[in-house]
Structure 1
């Protein structure tokens, strides 16, 4: 079940990546719903996904902050 949520989160983030505010909102939701190790995985996925999307690089800070709290 948890793995399905992680995959669903990635799908949603890909679909809303055209809009920074939507992307950030969905990312915030994901960070609160995913398990700590999934948040770390999501961070690595985001690093790769946002490589060619400089406007989304700011979102990595949200995950870095949350990762430290685990």
Structure 2
């Protein structure tokens, strides 16, 4: 099930993106769960995902982006 946790994480982050606090908490959980290569892929996805969501951009600091 390669990439299963990453895809699940993306789905969860999309669903909670209406609330910046929830988004941050789920992102913190993902950082602890994902493998290093999955984290790198998540970073790239997040950079694209938050482009039009300025309220979520502060959460990127947890990824050291």
TM-score normalised by the chain length of structure 1:
0.88
Cα RMSD (Å): 1.1
Listed one character per residue, the Cα deviations across residues 10-58 of structure 1 (whole Å, up to 9, x for unaligned) are 0000000000010000000000000011111101100000000001011
Number of corresponding residues: 65
Q: Kindly report structure 1 stretches of 4+ aligned residues shifted beyond 4 Å.
A: none
Q: Do the aligned residues in 2 keep the contact of 1:12 with 1:26 (CA within 8 Å)?
A: yes
Unaligned runs of 5+ in 2: none
Correspondence 1:58 to 2:50: no
Q: Do the aligned residues in 2 keep the contact of 1:2 with 1:34 (CA within 8 Å)?
A: no
Name the CA distance, whole Å, in 2 between partners of 1:13 and 1:19: 10
Report the Cα offset of residue 59 of structure 1: 1.0
Which one has a larger percent helix, Structure 1 or Structure 2? 1
Give the number of the structure with larger relative contact order, counting CA–CA contacts within 8 Å between residues 6 or more apart: 2
